[in-house]
């Protein structure tokens, strides 16, 4: 495993995922445990379109100031609630969740998917793109032209 991937992932609270066939990249909450990035998705949790069904994903991690640090290819595995990896990793993951509860791991076991993203063996780090890859904002009915600021009174020419 690349040391850069491990160091960036240990410090990351969120990651950008690009899943083949799932559309544009999306942001997810994650945690680095046991040499893998863990992502929870499902009802009552974040959406991760296509992640559970995919075998691979591209993971992009950013630094404290928003700049991209590394992009790598991950193999995706869904953790089985009856498996050994679940009993080892999911309680730690639930402990890292700020607004979790006592029954968080049990709720994840019944209705959610915990995906384990492990750096692919032998896969090189993906080159960082030259451009910013910023997309224009999507049209929305929520956007409107701002009103002019409220003015209590008019300021006339200064007296001498």
- 107-150 pLDDT tens trace: 999 989 999 999 988 778 888 777 777 778 888 888 777 777 77
Of all residues in the chain, the percent with pLDDT exceeding 90 is 49
Separation between Cα atoms, residue 122 and residue 73, nearest integer Å: 10
Give the mean pLDDT of 33-58. 93
Prediction pTM value: 0.79
Report the alpha-carbon distance of residue 58 to residue 73 in Å, rounded: 5
**Helix, strand or coil for residue 11?**
helix
What distances in angstroms separate CA 94 from CA 17, 68, 80, 99, one per listed residue? 21, 27, 16, 9
- What's residue 19's pLDDT? 94
Checking if the pLDDT of 1 tops 90, the result is no
């Amino acid at each position: 495993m690349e040391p850069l991937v491990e160091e960036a992932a240990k410090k990351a609270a969120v990651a950008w995922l690009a899943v083949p066939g799932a559309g544009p990249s999306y942001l997810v909450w994650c945690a680095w445990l046991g040499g893998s990035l863990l992502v929870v998705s499902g009802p009552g949790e974040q959406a991760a379109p296509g992640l559970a069904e995919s075998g691979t994903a591209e993971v992009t991690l950013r630094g404290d100031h928003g700049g991209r640090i590394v992009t790598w290819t991950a193999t995706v595995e869904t953790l089985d609630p009856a498996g050994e990896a679940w009993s080892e990793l999911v309680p730690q993951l639930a402990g890292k969740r700020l607004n979790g509860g006592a029954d968080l791991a049990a709720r994840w076991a019944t209705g959610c998917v915990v995906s384990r993203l492990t750096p692919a063996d032998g896969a090189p780090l993906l080159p960082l793109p030259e451009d910013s890859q910023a997309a224009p904002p999507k049209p929305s009915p929520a956007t409107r032209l701002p009103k002019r600021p409220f003015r209590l009174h008019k300021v006339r020419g200064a007296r001498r």
